Structure 1
Amino acid sequence: MDRYETSAIPVQIRLLLDSVDPEDTVLQEYVRFVAPNLLTQLATYSAKGGKAFLEKCRQEGYNYHDKPDQSMVAHVLNGIFPVMRIVRELERRDLLALNDVERKLYLTAYTLHDLDKIAGEKDLYQLGTSETREHLIQTLTAWIERLAIDRFFPEYVQFLDDLIYLILNTQDKYGTDALPYNYGIGKLAPRKRDFLRDLSNLSDVLNYLDDKQSDGNLLTSPANVCQGKLQKLLARLSQGQLRFAYHQLSTVTGLLTNLINNTILHLFRERGYIPLLFFPNGVVYLADNQKSVKDIADQLFEAVTKKISTACKQRLQQNLTGFTRDGKGMKFSHYYHNIFSVPELLSVAGLAVNKIIHDKKKPVSAERLATMRQMQKDGGKWAIPDEIELNYEASLDVDRLAEYLMVVEQVLSAIPKIADVDQKIMNSLGLADEYEHISVIPDKGGAKYRWYLAAGKYLQQHRGLDREELDAAMATIVQTIIDAYRPQIEQYENQRESFSFLRSYLQAIVDLDGTAIQGWQDFVKELEIYSSAHKSGRKTLMCSLCSTPYATDRQQETAVLFQPQVYSNKQPLNKQADRRGICDVCSLELMLRQILMKSRFQASGGNFENLKVKYLYLYPGYYFTTESARYVARFYQDSLKHLNLFKVTNALTGRQGFNIQDVLELEDFQIETEDEAEENGTDRFLKMELPKNDLATFFFFGIPSFEKEPSETESWVLPAFLALALPFVLTAKVVASECPLPLYATGNEFRETVILDAPHHFLMHILEQDRFRIDEVFNKLETLTAVFRMHLDVYSSKGKPNWNRINEIAMNLDTDRMYVFHYLMKLQRDQKWESLPRSVVTRYLHLYQLLQREGDMSIFKGLVDRYYVFYHPADFNSHNILRPVSTAIALTIKSDTDLSEEDAILEMIGEIKGSQERVHNKQAKGYAPIGGYDELAAIREFVEYFYHVTFQGYCRGERALLRERANRIKSGCEAYYLETHAPRKKNKEVVNNTDTDA
């Protein structure tokens, strides 16, 4: 079967194919044939930024702008997709007609326009001689075949001159050569060739606007895209009919700003604007030059609040998030008042009562009755008059009705101009005669006992009601009350404004195509709040999550995802109790996360904190195109559900390491079918669930620890792996953090591809840094995965990974990279292997190589390669393999400290020479491939290497340190010998028989 048949296409390519316009057959073919190779061949190449390039610039003293990272894959796809969308719009307007060959020529030229960077040849674009031209053609052809462009565009050979012209002239400055006689005749008409050059140039400029007007600004926010140069390019291509437009937010919170972006996006679309580029903080559109969006400002507040209510209402009715019950009754989050009308809220409350007080619950109505009787008996402060008859049949139905009536009273009493709610409720229950008696029952401890008595008496009068009949009766009771207060309720609904703070918030953060709505960030008020909150005996609360000029209130346990402040009776003088505040904006953001982030973990307060959630924030490589945003959204929703590190590390760590394709093809990164998704249950990750047909502009998700009582170590294992893997899977930048709000509004605010925000110290021991450029991410991913696999080798037990032990491994490896071989031998002892599988030896040697620091030298390689010149072990016994090394170590440890360097070397030479004589005389096992002076010279080279490099260098000339590291040195030498010099026996993968003291 062809590797490009549908069943063989990688999931990433299938998602891209689904995201690309199905009528654009050329682009569909490009994604099918070329994109798979882009993902695997160019993922680690840097188009912008990159550690290697920046280091080179610094070494050469070149004051180069420190650019944010962009991978070559993102650079290519970010240029192609929006320009092809522009081409389709130009064709729709009859401004352009490109045939399939011309489209393929443009796609090929832009894909390879940075061929000099890809090939690593700075002077590749020289056409001065036939030799340099031929070299360029050879390099170009090689990469065309490597990326399978020859399958996508087999006619490219006929257009080689045109192709080279377009490649060399995509950029405006560096490498350009527009002289026609340098390119031969060419098959394209000059006008069409120049038009394709403009397309390719537009693709490149969309990734980096480098001209005097923009001062070299990178296009990492919507406003930067709509600069003069880009507008001029588009105007020239569209004959003045099209322009770029945008909307932009000045901040990013996560879900709230996603909903705001989607609202504005919908309003722009209604006016004929075509979404083109997606940023975390806004969108760039393709717009008719005559159209305006000034009227959107007046509609925005109502549209956003409607969007929020619509998005949340159905989910709240299904999940009833934020409803809880304690000894004082039912509680629910304040945001229900903003989302539901009064009748809707009372209806939802009825559903919540039935959900929380389910049939497996133990009724508390009996306890309530006993308390009331005791209060009546005791008299005094809580006296209940003797004439009140305290008698009813305790049941769950009494609990349900009583709790519901409490909610009804709470909701209606909060409405202005509504009075005597409790009497109206009693009348609707048919207990008007009982009102005077029941209303005097006090609320001891906050519990409203009178409603339990009222519910009990009502159910005594209506015996035999089943659940459905009781629900219907409750609905009728509430409807009667609502009808009685309808004028007050309607007036309240008309006068109140849901999420009123959003009006000023939107005015402060939204920019509509270059015009702020009408407000600005109130820094003066923000400073006043900050100053007031830090005064002695302060009364103003500070938001726990942000600095803000918006109203801040005490957090509600039911409405936020972190644990409320722990309170204490011990307070300093002149200081109020510590309180954790939360502003209106952050409260709304966390409300949306409670409602719109799906996961099997439905927790709040302390239970949520115990999950030790780490968040991964996904930023585009400058921006997502419409196609790549759809691709990321589908992968985010349908693929990223769970991840098993046992399976992942086993799949990735092989004899020769792994490559990008292995990462892309991980089973846990594949799309599940509907049956598989249902079988596997809900996501283990906390992910956004936006309304259908909405496209997120900013993606993030939370990773709860899967352990019951996780440590900080365990909580960082999976986030660290995903942070390093997802840049290749999603062509994105990743920030991993414990902070529930994003640290950065856009990718322009940080330069690197991956940031681990305050990671656990075990990661710093392994990775040595917390920020990674695109060209170093894969090496760090491979290193981390290999260390994880080693940890699982030696410390997992009965399916439990025991991740806390990785701290020990990380610190040991940071102290001495040769600890790799300590764990290799530990694995052999634990598994009781008589011999080590060669694949295991190879894997641990590969890990050792990955961990090598700059300037490190493989000591055991130097030792084994040198002794193998004069000595070959006869078998795979550790004692025989390590004889020269063991001899040198033992003599050095036992040698007199006053012995001179030359005498110590001569003593070792003599001892090893004597051992070799026994080998020559067949008195000891082994082979001596050389003899005489050559053997003596080889022994001296081995001994001097051991003494100078191993003893004086690695062990700093300290015999105690050599004694402590001896086993690791010998284990490394043995592993290297088995992998490099041991003969490979047929049908046998295992190669040694290790003594325990090796």
Structure 2
Amino acid sequence: MPDDALKDMLRDPDGLTELYSKIDQMSTKPKMDLFEEYLKKVDVHLVEEGMGFKPAKSVEFGKTDQSMLNHIRNGILFLLRFNAALEELNVQYLNERDLRDCIALFVVHDLHKLDESRDFMEHEFDIPVETVEAYVDLVGLKDFTPDLKVEDYHSAAVSLHKSDFSRPGSRTSRFMDMEPFLYLMDNMSSCASPEEAVSSRSLRALRDGFPQDSQEGQLNLHYHRLDDIKGILSGIINKSVADVMQDNGLVMLMAYQDGCVYLGRGTRRISVSDETIERIFDALLSNIQGLPALSDPVNLAKKLNTPRLGYYGLSDEYYFFSGPKAMIRAFIDASITFAHDDSSRKLTDSIVDGINRADHVVPIELDRSERGQKILVGFARAVATVHQSFISEMIPDNGDALLKTCDIWKVQEDVTTALLGIMKTDPNYLASGGKWEYSYAIGQSVIDQALDGVKLRNVGVLETVNYLVDLVENGLSGMEEWSAFISNKTDKYRMEFVEYLHEALSINGTISHLEKSHLSDNFKEYLASGKTCNLCNRGTLLNKDQMKNSNSYLSYNFTNRVFVGKTKPDNILTCIPCGVELVLRKNGFNMPKGRAANNELLYFHIIPDYFFTPESWELVHSILLKFDKDARIRMAALAGKIFNSTYVGRSPETEGDFDLHKSWIEDLAVKEEDDGSRGMDMAQYMSQGYGNLIGNASIAFYKPSENNTEFHFFGVYVALVIAAYTGMRVVVSHSPVSSIRGRDFNEVVALDSVNSHVADFYGKFVSLSNLERTLKSASALIRLGYNTSSKLRDSLFPKYLRVMRDEILPGSYLLKMAYRVQEVESNVSNLLDEAIFLDEIRSR
């Protein structure tokens, strides 16, 4: 079912419980249970009537495409958010009955757009009461709010719009009570950008509808805008700016791909400044380090370098992504988990020799049993890793660093003295070949310590980890060098991000100009094949070696530019913001290995249908999480289901030949336990494990393919299905950082850097008015193509696309091809509708 994603959410009670718990944690709490009831009682009927394909705004009239279904949903979600914001700002707000009535009236406010038989201008609002009443019954509004009269609905249908041809004399008293909310809902749901949402028209609707007693109490609108879009990072920046704006007394109402709109009180206009930029960076750093995928010690432990020379390691960028506290916990968690691992793997002779050497030095006895030595090695790794990663970098003198390590781990004095003594007399005895075998003696001293009267070796893993993390954190943070050490690790990130925010961010139309940039000059560097980002062409503070993005899942298979004469790039070169985006992507999805993955990727950059509220973003995020690492697609079944779906232009005589309520998700995101064929792993959401980002999301498409045309054909097809299923706009691109923003095109789907044969079939842009026809065309071609070969060979689709391009009746041509290989004639007759549909499409 197109745009049926919210219904699938309602069918998942566990998912709803988790979702509402997240929404309940928000400072502003709309009545989402009312929206859920609306979806169950009213919205389902709008979907059945094809509102997901009928335009409220359309590219044909110079607007950004928006379906009637999403226009109504956006208006309702805006109302709930706005009403909660009024309550937070101590302004008169609607009770539940008023909210119900307002929602119901808004459902019918665009009824004039559904009857194409009337003249568009003069008779646009000549809508009989009987027509309104029939529509109210059709979509189940009387069940949702039984107190409204048909005259109230008629008022909303003919009197709300400020038009020369509307009927203001038809307003009822109940409609007039709700009119300020209805007009603001309609206005804000029609604004395609943050600056449009705070235009004079919007401010007039706000101030006329909600006048206050004083200038200080007057409601006002604010916005911020980003002039550069990365993806996940842009969503986190939106959230970070919103956090700072909230500290200034504003409440976020709407989140666009490239900015947010806020409600506040008073005449003061928030502007951007150096101080604001610094606060936003601090919020950004906190939000990134709060991401579970980067801060959870279990996830972070998976990124640790393989233990070598007795300690773990993490590259320096994790000081920015995860923070030192998370790094310490990951190091200790991995070490203590290893210590208590029951695997039968034996310690190497080199490790045992190191333990014996340390045993000869100190006045305590190191464990000699096989099991005891394994526990000792785990504790020793924690000690060595903390020493190597933190202490030795802050304290250059080896003796002083060893003394500080012993102090932090609370090593007994005679052991510390013995270790310092051997370091002076024979520095290489416990440190040959890059090893640091002092850790074995220190580890034994830690093991022998007691926690609540029990030796640490006998305490559970979690209790031990918590105790040691507190011990180490307190010791390190108390060092004089600690703040300077952390700053040194993150200063380049701060400096470049601050410059990036100065360039990209505006608040209420104001920018904060930097007098001098410290970034490399992108023009000079471009000519010299130097320090310029391969993805966005910005300059950077990094040197060329630092720009080689070792964390990139792209490696050699993508760049926005390769210099003439260059055979193969060393690795993708990125500035800091693009490098952060790639790390966020890598940690937000699981790239399959081997034959399960194609050698290239397509990205579906998912854009909100005009805007999200924080609550609708949580809904969307929950929906996109269905496309996880375990989800697969049944392409043949999906194509059949989509072709046989009927919405726009559905004949009233049609009876039960298909099931409108059979969701596409059953074949679009198949799980292991689902009935039917297994499907193929080919697409995955790239923000798994992330929650605190607003307005930007991406899906990676990596279907194993034998040729480029096949790969792009099915990639665009899946993108179209996701756009229809979720009701969002999509850019399909080869680039992980799209060069096309949502404001750069008006259609539902845009194809950026897609195979030319595929773009010819789908069109460079797919408008809402063509979305259903394009989906059905591709589904028909897949259905016929799969029946021309017994092995469902995707690699033949370049040939089928040539048939679509060259043949006058491509459907008939493909049907004949299918007939030649079919053993049962009835199998071919089942494809007649597909063939006829393609012939009709080609003849237009």
Once the two structures are aligned, what percentage of the paired residues are identical?
15
Structure 1 partner of 2:26:
none
SS in 2 for 1:794: coil
1:346-361 equivalent positions in 2, closer than 5 A: 348-349=330-331, 351=333
1:303-322 equivalent positions in 2, closer than 5 A: 303-311=283-291, 314-322=295-303
Structure 2 partner of 1:621:
609
Structure 2 partner of 1:726:
722
SS in 2 for 1:503: helix
1:551 partnered with 2:541: yes
AA aligned opposite 2:505: V
Alpha-carbon distance, 1:39 to partner: 2.5
**Distance of aligned partners of 1:28 and 1:415 in 2 relative to their CA distance in 1, 3 Å threshold:** closer
1:273 partnered with 2:257: no
Spell out, residue by residue over 1:484-514, the C-alpha distance to the aligned partner (whole angstroms, 9 max, x if none): 9974543534754733223333344333445
CA contact (8 A) 1:125 1:168 kept: no
CA contact (8 A) 2:222 2:264 kept: yes
Alpha-carbon distance, 1:777 to partner: 0.9
Structure 2 partner of 1:737:
733
**Distance of aligned partners of 1:423 and 1:564 in 2 relative to their CA distance in 1, 3 Å threshold:** farther
From 39, 58, 78, give the equivalent of 1:49.
Answer: 58
Structure 2 partner of 1:323:
304
**Distance of aligned partners of 1:47 and 1:396 in 2 relative to their CA distance in 1, 3 Å threshold:** same
Spell out, residue by residue over 1:92-139, the C-alpha distance to the aligned partner (whole angstroms, 9 max, x if none): 957477895x766654554344334322245267569xxx95x74555
1:562 partnered with 2:584: no
From 27, 40, 45, give the equivalent of 1:37.
Answer: 45
Spell out, residue by residue over 1:533-559, the C-alpha distance to the aligned partner (whole angstroms, 9 max, x if none): 423xx6x42112112243234345642
CA contact (8 A) 2:729 2:748 kept: yes
CA contact (8 A) 2:640 2:779 kept: no
Alpha-carbon distance, 1:779 to partner: 0.9
Cα distance in 2, alignment partners of residues 459 and 247 from structure 1: 53
Alpha-carbon distance, 1:47 to partner: 2.2
AA aligned opposite 1:813: M
CA contact (8 A) 1:555 1:564 kept: no
From 229, 232, 235, give the equivalent of 1:258.
Answer: 235
SS in 2 for 1:34: helix
1:349-498 equivalent positions in 2, closer than 5 A: 349=331, 351=333, 410-412=388-390, 415-420=393-398, 449-451=433-435, 487=479, 489-490=481-482, 492-493=484-485, 496=488, 498=490
AA aligned opposite 1:782: K
Alpha-carbon distance, 1:589 to partner: 1.9
Spell out, residue by residue over 1:618-668, the C-alpha distance to the aligned partner (whole angstroms, 9 max, x if none): 212221245533321221224774432233234334498998984871243
AA aligned opposite 1:543: C
From 93, 107, 111, give the equivalent of 1:111.
Answer: 107
CA contact (8 A) 2:707 2:795 kept: yes
CA contact (8 A) 1:734 1:753 kept: yes
CA contact (8 A) 2:815 2:835 kept: no
Spell out, residue by residue over 1:26-80, the C-alpha distance to the aligned partner (whole angstroms, 9 max, x if none): 7665433321122232211222224xx45xxxxxxxxxxx322222222222233
From 585, 589, 597, give the equivalent of 1:593.
Answer: 585
TM-score, scaled relative to structure 2: 0.73
SS in 2 for 1:725: helix
1:447-846 equivalent positions in 2, closer than 5 A: 449-451=433-435, 487=479, 489-490=481-482, 492-493=484-485, 496=488, 498=490, 499-501=493-495, 502-516=497-511, 518-519=512-513, 528-535=521-528, 540-553=530-543, 554-555=546-547, 558-563=550-555, 580-595=572-587, 597-599=588-590, 601=591, 612-638=600-626, 641-654=631-644, 662=660, 665-668=663-666, 685-689=684-688, 694=692, 696-705=694-703, 707=704, 712-713=708-709, 715-716=711-712, 718-745=714-741, 747-761=742-756, 763-764=758-759, 766-767=761-762, 769-795=763-789, 797=791, 801-816=792-807, 818=809, 820-833=811-824, 835-837=825-827, 840-846=828-834
SS in 1 for 2:625: helix
Spell out, residue by residue over 1:224-265, the C-alpha distance to the aligned partner (whole angstroms, 9 max, x if none): 211222112211222133222333333222222222222333
SS in 2 for 1:789: helix
Alpha-carbon distance, 1:279 to partner: 0.9
AA aligned opposite 1:623: F
Cα distance in 2, alignment partners of residues 468 and 795 from structure 1: 64
CA contact (8 A) 2:194 2:225 kept: yes
Q: Which moved further from structure 2: 683-692 or 308-317?
A: 683-692
Cα-Cα RMSD: 5.5
Alpha-carbon distance, 1:832 to partner: 2.3
From 203, 208, 215, give the equivalent of 1:231.
Answer: 203
CA contact (8 A) 2:56 2:66 kept: yes
AA aligned opposite 1:232: R
Cα distance in 2, alignment partners of residues 126 and 38 from structure 1: 27
**Distance of aligned partners of 1:409 and 1:507 in 2 relative to their CA distance in 1, 3 Å threshold:** same
Alpha-carbon distance, 1:335 to partner: 1.4
Alpha-carbon distance, 1:598 to partner: 3.9
Structure 2 partner of 1:982:
none
CA contact (8 A) 1:105 1:163 kept: no
Unmatched 5+ stretches in structure 1: 1-7, 55-65, 209-218, 371-392, 857-998
Q: Which moved further from structure 2: 659-668 or 812-821?
A: 659-668
**Distance of aligned partners of 1:150 and 1:273 in 2 relative to their CA distance in 1, 3 Å threshold:** same
CA contact (8 A) 1:245 1:287 kept: yes
AA aligned opposite 2:701: I
Alpha-carbon distance, 1:773 to partner: 0.5
**Distance of aligned partners of 1:757 and 1:491 in 2 relative to their CA distance in 1, 3 Å threshold:** closer
Q: Which of the pair has the greater relative contact order for Cα pairs under 8 Å at 6+ separation?
A: 2
SS in 2 for 1:275: strand
CA contact (8 A) 2:719 2:732 kept: yes
**Distance of aligned partners of 1:484 and 1:322 in 2 relative to their CA distance in 1, 3 Å threshold:** closer
CA contact (8 A) 1:324 1:558 kept: no
Alpha-carbon distance, 1:361 to partner: 11
CA contact (8 A) 1:75 1:207 kept: yes
TM-score, scaled relative to structure 1: 0.63
CA contact (8 A) 1:556 1:564 kept: no
Spell out, residue by residue over 1:778-831, the C-alpha distance to the aligned partner (whole angstroms, 9 max, x if none): 11111112222233333353xxx4322222222233222545445445545544
CA contact (8 A) 2:640 2:783 kept: yes
Cα distance in 1, alignment partners of residues 241 and 52 from structure 2: 33
**Distance of aligned partners of 1:655 and 1:782 in 2 relative to their CA distance in 1, 3 Å threshold:** closer
CA contact (8 A) 2:733 2:751 kept: yes
SS in 2 for 1:252: coil
Alpha-carbon distance, 1:733 to partner: 0.7
**Structure number with bigger Rg:** 1
Alpha-carbon distance, 1:206 to partner: 1.7
Alpha-carbon distance, 1:753 to partner: 0.5
AA aligned opposite 2:574: I
From 64, 70, 88, give the equivalent of 1:68.
Answer: 64
Spell out, residue by residue over 1:282-313, the C-alpha distance to the aligned partner (whole angstroms, 9 max, x if none): 22223233677678656333232222223255
CA contact (8 A) 1:542 1:580 kept: no
Cα distance in 1, alignment partners of residues 482 and 726 from structure 2: 50
**Distance of aligned partners of 1:637 and 1:515 in 2 relative to their CA distance in 1, 3 Å threshold:** same
Cα distance in 2, alignment partners of residues 668 and 36 from structure 1: 18
SS in 2 for 1:277: strand
Cα distance in 2, alignment partners of residues 347 and 97 from structure 1: 48
CA contact (8 A) 2:549 2:579 kept: no
